[in-house]
Amino acid sequence: MKPRDVIEYVFLALVWGVSFLVLLQVVEAFGFIGAVAFRSLVAAGSLLGFAAILRRRLDFSAGWRPYVIVGATTVAGQLIGLSYATPRIGTAMAAILVATIPLFSMIISQLWGLERITPPGVLGLVLGVVGIVLLVGFPAVALTDSFIFGCLAMVFATFCAAYGSNYASRYLRAAGSFEVTAGSFLAAGVMTLPLLLLVPVPGRLEAIDFLYLFIAGAVMSALTYVVYFRLVSAIGPTRTISVEFVVTVVAVLVGVFVLHEPLNGIQIVGAAVIVLGCLLVLGLLPLGAPASIEAE
């Protein structure tokens, strides 16, 4: 990784790790669907407006289909799952499950021929599954329907994130990160807006709610995803998505020490097993050949 890649990698980890605090505020004010729809439209509007101010010409010659698919998965699917789950299972639990994204990414990359997996990678995938079982099967809170559906929503979110990242790497590699971010968030906003008929905004909004929404959309979505999609193009989807390990560490610290959320010993072991599995998948442990090698 080049110095620029490292700086952007650390930036994503810190901003996305802290973003759980903002997400909780936005979901409380706008509901989990409104949080995604309005956040996506704010992100897309911010980027399109910025491009207009800079007189930057955007190139969407790749066609509408890939932007819709990335918008439906990496943006809408991931954010709906995350927004639904986090208030129900807690920031720390949601953040730990986010760390499973590289596992799904490796499986998809293998199936699509973008990367190839070695025996350490297979072991990593098995450990990842074991870690999820430990994490979800032995919660520090009561095993309610809300908790179970929240965990399922997070698994859905992580799969969507992995699928969309690989799809973007495969079909939007030639597109600029600015175009990928603006196009996918616009598509996600348009797709999720009608869902407000089913899950409306829960109550009266205050000025502070719109400030949180702007931060979530313009900073923690528009800016970060421009950086994210540039990294996907530069270093590959699985290596880029490994930033979720650091995001998990930051978010768990926020959840435990700022929000005072509970975690038990078995869950901590499960989290460690997930991280170990992902390290094997990414080839970051000295166990022979790297677990994943980017296809040219």
Q: Decide if pLDDT at 43 tops 90.
A: yes
Q: Alpha helices, DSSP H only, in 54-144?
A: 64-70, 78-89, 91-98, 101-112, 119-137
Q: Report pLDDT for 294.
A: 42
Contacts of 232 (CB under 8 A, 6+ apart): 165, 168, 169, 240
Strand partners, 113: none
Which pTM does this prediction carry? 0.80
**Mean pLDDT, residues 126-152:** 76
Q: Judge whether 238 and 115 are in contact, CB under 8 Å.
A: yes
Q: Report pLDDT for 291.
A: 42
DSSP string covering 23-66, please?
Answer: HHHHHHHHHHHHHHHHHHHHHHHHHHHHHHHTTPPP--TT-HHH
Q: Decide if pLDDT at 79 tops 50.
A: yes
Contacts of 14 (CB under 8 A, 6+ apart): 250
Structure-model confidence comparison of residues 138 and 219, the more confident one: 219
Choose from 82-96, 239-253, 278-292 the range with maximum mean pLDDT: 82-96
Cα 73-76-82 angle, rounded to 5 deg: 100
Q: Decide if pLDDT at 286 tops 70.
A: no
Cα–Cα distance for residue pair 65/86, rounded to 1 Å? 30
Tens digits of per-residue pLDDT, 225-257? Answer: 888 878 877 877 667 777 777 777 788 778 878
Q: Report pLDDT for 281.
A: 65
